[in-house]
Amino acid sequence: MEESMVKSYLQKSLDEWKDDISLVLAEIGKEYEEVAQELKVYSYKYGITKQVIQSTVNDEIIEKIREMYHKPFEESYNQLKEYIKDLEEKKRVFQMFIQKIDEVSRKESAKITTY
């Protein structure tokens, strides 16, 4: 009887923690999807301006395009790439929490059933 109370308390605590971490992970996933979409937009914008610059012969127009579009798009693209790498790392870390909690839950469950 006492063991089942300890088990239920332990399992309940681990489950609550896992739920909290799952919420964090879901938020990270949502943010990741938004950043990935924005990254795709800037990837296209950057690629298009690069192609236009390569097809333009007028140096004055090329410089204007670089100033107005190409450089800002490149900067945004690179920032978003770094940000998405950070989000991927966060996802990996919080997923590791869930895996470790599941691992402990399985071990504890096995201990209780062997008694």
| Residue 95 located in a structural domain | yes
What the block records as the tokens of 75 is 């900067």
84 Cβ contact list (under 8 Å, min separation 6): 32, 35, 36, 39
Cβ atoms of 21 and 101 within 8 Å: the answer is: yes
What integer pLDDT is reported at residue 15 of this predicted model? 93
What integer pLDDT is reported at residue 110 of this predicted model? 76
In this predicted structure, the answer to whether residue 115 has a pLDDT above a threshold of 90 is: no
What integer pLDDT is reported at residue 69 of this predicted model? 95
Q: How confident is the model at residue 7 (pLDDT cuts 50, 70, 90)?
A: low
State the DSSP string of 34-92: HHHHHHHHHHHHHHHHHHHHHT---HHHHHHHIIIIIHHHHHHHHHHHHHHHHHHHHHH
The mean pLDDT value of the chain amounts to 91
| Residue 107 located in a structural domain | yes
- Please give the residue range of the domain that contains residue 99: 35-114
Question: Side chain identity at 111, as an amino acid letter?
Answer: K
| Residue 14 located in a structural domain | no
Cβ atoms of 51 and 73 within 8 Å: the answer is: no
| Residue 4 located in a structural domain | no
In this predicted structure, the answer to whether residue 1 has a pLDDT above a threshold of 50 is: no
Which tens digits make up the pLDDT trace of 22-67? 999 999 999 999 999 999 999 999 999 999 999 999 999 999 999 9
Tell me the pTM.
0.78
What the block records as the tokens of 8 is 């239920």
Structural domains in the chain (count): 1
| Residue 74 located in a structural domain | yes
Which tens digits make up the pLDDT trace of 75-110? 999 999 999 999 999 999 999 999 999 999 888 777
| Residue 27 located in a structural domain | no
| Residue 15 located in a structural domain | no
| Residue 40 located in a structural domain | yes
